A and B are shown apart, each in its own frame.
Chain A
Amino acid sequence: MTGRDLITGVQNTWCPGCGNFTIQHTLKALLAEREKEGRSLDNVVLVSGIGCHAKIADYLNINSFYSLHGRTIPVATGIKLANPDLTVICCCGDGDCYAEGLDHLIFAAKRNIDITVLVHDNRVYGLTTGQYTPTSPLGYKGKSTPSGTAELPLNPVELMLASGATFVARGYTKKMDQLKTLIREGIAHKGFSFIDVLQICATFFPVADYYTSRVYEPAAHDPADFAKACLLAREWDYNSDARIALGVLYRKEMPGFVERVAVPIKTAPEREQAVQAIIAARI
């Protein structure tokens, strides 16, 4: 399909100032670019979880699988294995992907499955009205932790480096041009791409000033340098006060899960022949 409206007629219910708008418009711009290059959008699939981020499945006019909380990645993995010609993009939340579905995230990195995971990391549960997530800072006061969280946040970038992800990046919704580049490169990357997007939640965790004064792009960083990528990942631990590196922190080319798992398809008569041969061999 060409020339389609990329935004559906579904009423948008994100709060004014929500960082999700930036991610939506970035994806829309990238989809338009893809069409302009003559590449069909029929082969693009968006998989979302459950949460504020996930409404993007209703808002973007492309194939979508509006999945369950925490369950974007196994669905996306199945879709990619079933049809490797599809471009599969996962939009997940931080509660979605780092809490409910963390096991899937780690295994996707471990497998190097060729999907792109965008984590809308607003560090708070928005849709369920403001509880802490795995990336909320220590002491965050939400409705489930009125006296402040008693646990340190997870550093998802460091976790992904440790899990074998072959494309690890961090973006920020107030740096839209850079975010667009990161997502474009993530989609182009052959293998598992992980992008943690620092996203503003205007209602429950409005920390734009904090981010804007701390984010930076490391000069002359070589994304092939794993040790340097680890240092950059550890510079800010999602809790203490430090500079926050943005950009592609790590990139590596490696064979992926799809190539390693793929089995040449057989025709129905070939399959029936195989069934009959097995039965005959059991006499």
Chain B
Amino acid sequence: MNGIRGNPGQNYRKYKRVPGFFRHAACTHANVYTHHGSTVSYGDTMPEEREVSVLVGGRAGDGINNAGALVARLLSRLGYRIYLYFDYPSLIRGGHNFAVVRAASRDVGTCREKVDFVLALNQETLTRHRGMFHEGTAVLFNADVVKSEGQGIPVRQILAAEQAPEIMGNSVMIGGFAKAAGIPWDLVEDVFRAVLPKGTDLNLKVARRAYDQLAVARAIPERGDPPLPLLTGNEAIGLGLIRGGLDAYISYPMTPSSSLLHFLAGEKEKFGITVVHPENEIAVVLMALGFAYAGKRAAVGTSGGGFCLMTEGLSLAGMAELPLVFVVSQRTGPSTGLPTYTGQSELAFVLHAGQGEFPRLIVAPGDAGEALAWSAIAQEISWQFQVPVFVLPDKTLSEGTYSIDTAALPSREDGLAVPGRAASASLPYRRYADTPDGVSPPAFPGTPGAVVKVNSYAHDESGYTTEEGDMVSLMTEKRLRKQEALARAMNTFPQVNVLGKPDAPVALLCWGSTKGVCAEVGETLGLRVVQPVVLEPFPVTQLRVALSGATTLICVEENATGQLAAIASEYGIIVDKEILRYDGRPFTYESLLEKVREVVS
């Protein structure tokens, strides 16, 4: 290629799309897993000597996500690293839900297209996912409602024998799975005690009956590694925000951000935080800015549609220089789109949202571990620089479950020195006092002698409205200096991950939740994988270092226009090929492997 250093005459949009990709995207719309339709066959080698995948399927309302979480915990206790993908339509009862648990000896952030175990709670699991089975797949099913080969579990009969309620049916299935997978009973007991604090004994009794009735189908070996904690992306973001000093979380429910609201609302007493669900997203952002003005660290959460309503508040945060963290969890758009499916199409939106020009920080964690670490940094940076900060996950990350190796989390090398923060406010207080780095010393209402005036209008250093040209220019430049200071501070963090084969000439460029799948494909094919976590201020220096020596750059994104590729091109980093997916489903290992092979061959 003509180089990463840039070729202004080269328009990234002219790069040829991957042949057949549109067809592929269209035909996988119904279900990605049944249409892998590729040359990739099961058993295709990957850098994973021992791993296992489990599919749990049933009707919406069957508790599929909880059943998947139990499977994940069992496999985690065996010493595997976990990724759980949960797929559900936007309804409460009656549709088909499924979870895929993948357990491997390495960090994983994607599914494979074949599974080793199937737990069928409805017939549809078998018909719909038939393409995911291989010759050795162990099928376990609820014999009351499913007809199949494999091992049937008489759920109703077992529940009746113990006089247990119907809701414990999943415990029966999990007991059966544990036996089929050769998992020791004492481990099952441990996990049930940890996960099901209510009715544990009865749950264990029904699980034990299934455990005793079934035969071992495929024994999953214990790895012996110490088990790691499992967190969803949204839980990790919530914990990160708390570590960053969160005082208040304000949110209006919107998938896939809602589980963050539910998590923080459920744990608010433990953290001592205020959680509010107001009348709409406009109230959400303005209420949060009220908290910030009063000296409390706030965050809001939503998805693209809700963020549309927040943009006037975002611009206010920029003008009034109030810190606020926006968690925008992306789903398939435009408009209502696919509420429960994934996408990466809001990068350009959050980058440009809000009228006027003001600094902002955007971080896009690639997995739950990064979400934990970077959400804390986001909250802190927002406060230090009095700027809006975005944490930009997607449905895959927000609602996926990951093993977190807390010892391996990224951390900054040394503390941030922020002159504005260290300087104390002097009287008469001027909220927008001009400083070398543009960050004014903060003070809050209630501070003796300080009159704290913030303003959405163009204002002077004291916060009074002004239309005077020189003052407007001065304040504009002050805000832009904050952008420079912010960029300098961010450069003290490792902002760009290099995975795969770090010195390979062919590089995959990705962001957000495709980190895991790109890393695996990169390792298989011997490619460099470069993942910027910070996307604004664009970490161009670190990115150039990460791409140094690369001759071919392939951008992988889950949107239709290549938004990161477009941003990179503005900085002279030219992408040669784009692999884009926009059917709401995340890349699987095989689907990406196939596409990358097509473009590198």
Contacts and interface: CB of A to CB of B under 8 A. Distances in A.
28 contacts: A1-B449, A10-B465, A43-B446, A47-B290, A64-B453, A64-B455, A67-B316, A68-B313, A68-B316, A71-B282, A74-B286, A75-B286, A76-B290, A78-B293, A79-B290, A81-B274, A81-B290, A83-B444, A86-B294, A107-B283, A261-B274, A263-B268, A271-B243, A271-B272, A275-B239, A278-B267, A279-B239, A283-B229
B340 to A, nearest CB: 23
Nearest to B454: A65
Given A78-B291, A104-B279, A63 B274 contact: no
Contact of B293 (A75, A85, A266): A75
A63 B286 contact: no
Nearest to A66: B455
B380 to A, nearest CB: 12
Given A78-B294, A82-B248, A86-B445, A283 B283 contact: no
A65 B274 contact: no
Contact of A274 (B229, B231, B271, B282): B271
A194 to B, nearest CB: 17
Nearest to B191: A283
A263 B456 CA distance: 31
B243 A272 contact: yes
A104 B281 CA distance: 11
B243, B283, B452: most-surrounded residue (chain A CB, <10 A) = B283
Contacts of B464: 8, 10, 58
B292 to A, nearest CB: 8
A75, A270, A274: most-surrounded residue (chain B CB, <10 A) = A75
B286 A66 contact: no
Contacts of A279: 229, 231, 239, 404, 406
B451 A63 contact: yes
Contacts of B312: 68, 71
A32 B359 CA distance: 40
Nearest to B294: A82
A16 interface: no
B247 interface: yes
Interface residues of B, number: 68
Interface of B: 76-77, 194, 227-231, 235, 239, 242-243, 245, 247-248, 250, 267-276, 278-280, 282-284, 286-296, 298, 312-313, 316, 320, 404, 406, 444-457, 459, 463-465
Interface string A60-96: 0111111110010011111111110110000000000
A265 B445 CA distance: 19
A254 interface: no
B456 A42 contact: no
Contacts of B273: 263
A74 B267 CA distance: 24
Contact of A283 (B228, B274, B275): B228
A83 B445 contact: yes
A81 B248 CA distance: 9
Contacts of B270: 266, 274, 277-278
B536 to A, nearest CB: 24
B454 A66 contact: yes
A262 interface: yes
A264 interface: yes
B274, B404, B448, B459: most-surrounded residue (chain A CB, <10 A) = B274
A86 B452 CA distance: 13
B261 to A, nearest CB: 14
Nearest to A71: B286
A261 B272 CA distance: 11
Contacts of B406: 279
A256 B231 CA distance: 36
Contacts of B404: 279
Contact of A82 (B235, B243, B296): B296
Contacts of A264: 269, 272
Interface string A91-118: 0000000000001101100000000000
A192 to B, nearest CB: 14
